A and B are shown apart, each in its own frame.
Chain A
Amino acid sequence: MSVLVYTESEEGKFKKTAFEVASYAKGVADMMGTTVTAVSFNAKDTSELAQYGVNKVLKIDNDKLSKFNAEAYADALKQATEKEGAKVVVLGQTANDKYLAPLLAVHLGAGYASNVVELPANTDPLQVKRTAFTNKAFSITQISTDVKIVGLSKNAFGLKENPVELSEEEFSPSLASEDFKVNVVSVDKAADKVTIADAEIVVSGGRGLKGPENWGMIEDLAETLGAATACSKPVSDMGWRPHSEHVGQTGKPVAANLYIAVGISGAIQHLAGINASKTKVVINNDPEAPFFKAAEYGVVGDAFEIVPKLTEKLKEFKANNA
């Protein structure tokens, strides 16, 4: 009857999202008067899960699962759900979560709510609040199936420490050859760069920066903050920056703690995609730019003067607060 949670790891180490979904699962389990069971895939050390309220971990160690494979992971999670008799399955909304969740939903006959942003208001019937219309609204969604899947938006719940005793159990799902029909032949991933998906802070540049040659100061600011870099749609359409940096309604969603927008006007399509970020700072030389209505902090002025100055001051601040 426990709440089951999929804890994502990479090269044997849990991602931060694993601890956030575990924290959330603990909240749901408390509401339902039950415990939390995590499923880990080739994680080396699972003990940290105890900090976030996980009572038991089903530990899968299987070389065939060393690389993410949506079908095989969904199959393993299905078997874990059935073994535990779990009625609620919690996962995150990373690219991998979003890939496997609909497969798992069909295999389990479970209703699935994605982009969930809060603990359920009720667990019987289960009602969750999720974003809809690309952050322009919320929808209170009720799931009516016996088993339910909740996809928690990144940074919506945060980490909640809740130390408990953790027990570990080896788990060997039986995998079929059908699980391995889609195969990865190569991966291309910049190892040293903070990604928009993982970043706590995102520094984003728009057409106001005039050209790709001016992105050095955006990268410096981002590096100082340990942030990822992003851009508005026209900037990627013109080839100033790679498409993978395009954020907004038709690009990547951003749910960072801090989003710094430099030379971006704040068009509705841009705002829709980044609105889920907690704190937004706008730097723009036009005091009438619509972005100022959607942000927490604003500085009116020339980005070419402000950004390097801000970076210098942040370096000082970091040095003094280290």
Chain B
Amino acid sequence: MKILVCISHVPDTTSKINFSEGDTKFDTNGVQFVINPNDEFGLTRAMWFKEKQGATVDVVNVGGPETEPTLRKALAIGADTAIRVDTPATDGIYVAKQLAKVVQDGNYDLVIAGRESIDYNGGMVPGMIAALIGANFVNTCINLEVEGNEATVIREIDGGKETLKASLPLVIGGQKGIVQESDLRIPNMRGIMQARKKPLNVIQPVETNPETEAVKFEKPAPKGNIKMIDSDNLDELINLLHNEAKVI
């Protein structure tokens, strides 16, 4: 089985988010970048398929040279080959079209992406890849097994979960659950050394146009002051929630 894991390069979860150039650009100054958490869960599941079922695992990112340390980290975790499509990730469909081409050229059986990236939060790239190449798609995946050509997937739904069956080729929007937090791997020295020698292929983008554009960013308005309520006066809290906030 040939697996491709889509890796989005995102600001670390502790990052304070700022903008530059008249609030039109994300200010990357001083920001640490990491593998998108949903993608790290997916990559870890892919490692299981590699070790238990002899799958090959490639990772791909659509982005500039600045994303290479993130791809190297994925190689250090155990991926075989990294691919970088050398173009800025303009919007969801633009990225999906780049990735669809990589999937088709590489004849991948299974594509694991994340339910959503924590920067753009589009929640659209995996579904779009599937629709573009005519592959099956399951979103919010919390468990994934593959036997031969047939996958059994558990999907999180609002208020529960459902089990689905689909044949390969299959695209997954993954999240925590596809592996547990405790399964995540911190690359060791040997992995990091090996990653330096593994191929990281830079390829040219296909020509296509984005369909959406972030014309401006805004930060949430600073919060008004909190009202503190004495723990001996919980009636006051109920009163405020009822009459002021009108939520009970």
Contact = CB atoms under 8 A, between A and B. Distances in A.
Interface of A: 70-71, 94-96, 98-103, 105-107, 110-115, 127, 129, 131-145, 178, 181-190, 193, 195-198, 200-201, 225, 233, 237, 243-244, 246, 249-251, 257-258, 268-269, 272, 275, 278-279, 281-282, 292-301, 305-306, 309-310, 313-314, 317, 321
B229 A268 contact: no
Contacts of A299: 228-231, 234, 237
17 contacts: A70-B139, A103-B131, A112-B93, A137-B220, A139-B214, A140-B216, A140-B217, A144-B211, A182-B137, A187-B160, A187-B162, A189-B160, A201-B248, A243-B176, A243-B177, A296-B224, A313-B238
Contacts of B214: 132, 139-141
B234 A310 contact: yes
A154 to B, nearest CB: 10
A314 B238 contact: yes
A95 B215 contact: no
A197 B93 contact: no
Ranked nearest first, the 6 interchain pairs of A and B with the lowest CB-CB distance are: A102-B127, A189-B160, A195-B159, A111-B211, A106-B131, A301-B231
B65 interface: no
A305 B165 contact: no
A246 B180 CA distance: 13
A111 B93 CA distance: 8
B39 to A, nearest CB: 11
B87 interface: no
A143 B212 contact: yes
A189 B157 CA distance: 8
Contacts of B91: 111
A71 to B, nearest CB: 7
B55 interface: no
Contacts of A295: 226
B205 interface: no
Contacts of B13: 249-250, 268-269, 272
A298 B236 CA distance: 11
A261 B144 CA distance: 33
Contacts of B188: none
Given A186-B162, A193-B159, A197-B159, A105 B124 contact: yes
B150 to A, nearest CB: 11
A95 B245 contact: no
Contacts of B181: 233, 237
A138 B220 contact: yes
Contacts of B128: 102-103, 105-106
Contacts of B210: 144
Given A237-B182, A258-B241, A181 B217 contact: no
Judged by DSSP, the binding face of A is mixed
B174 interface: no
Nearest to B122: A114
B246 to A, nearest CB: 9
B136 interface: yes
B207 interface: no
A293 B223 contact: yes
Interface residues of B toward A: which range? Answer: 35 or more
Given A111-B212, A251-B176, 20 more contacts: A95-B157, A101-B127, A102-B123, A102-B126, A105-B93, A105-B124, A106-B93, A133-B17, A133-B26, A138-B217, A140-B216, A144-B210, A178-B134, A183-B166, A198-B159, A244-B161, A258-B241, A279-B247, A298-B228, A298-B229
A213 to B, nearest CB: 22
A321 B137 CA distance: 48
Contacts of A243: 142, 176-177
Interface string B178-219: 000110000000000000000000000000001111111111
Interface stretch (B42-50, B75-83, B113-121): B113-121
B118 A134 contact: yes
B86 interface: no
A262 to B, nearest CB: 13
B18 to A, nearest CB: 9
B167 A181 contact: yes
A197 B158 contact: yes
Contact of A278 (B142, B234, B247): B247
A134 to B, nearest CB: 5
B132 A106 contact: yes
Contact of B226 (A129, A275, A292): A292
A195 B126 CA distance: 25
Given A249-B118, A251-B176, A297-B229, A184 B162 contact: yes
Contact of A279 (B38, B230, B245): B245
Given A98-B139, A133-B118, A306-B231, A183 B164 contact: yes
B63 interface: no
A114 B121 contact: yes
Contacts of B162: 184, 186-189
B73 to A, nearest CB: 17
Given A243-B177, A299-B234, A102 B159 contact: no
A250 B176 contact: yes
A181 B166 contact: yes
Contacts of A139: 214, 216-218
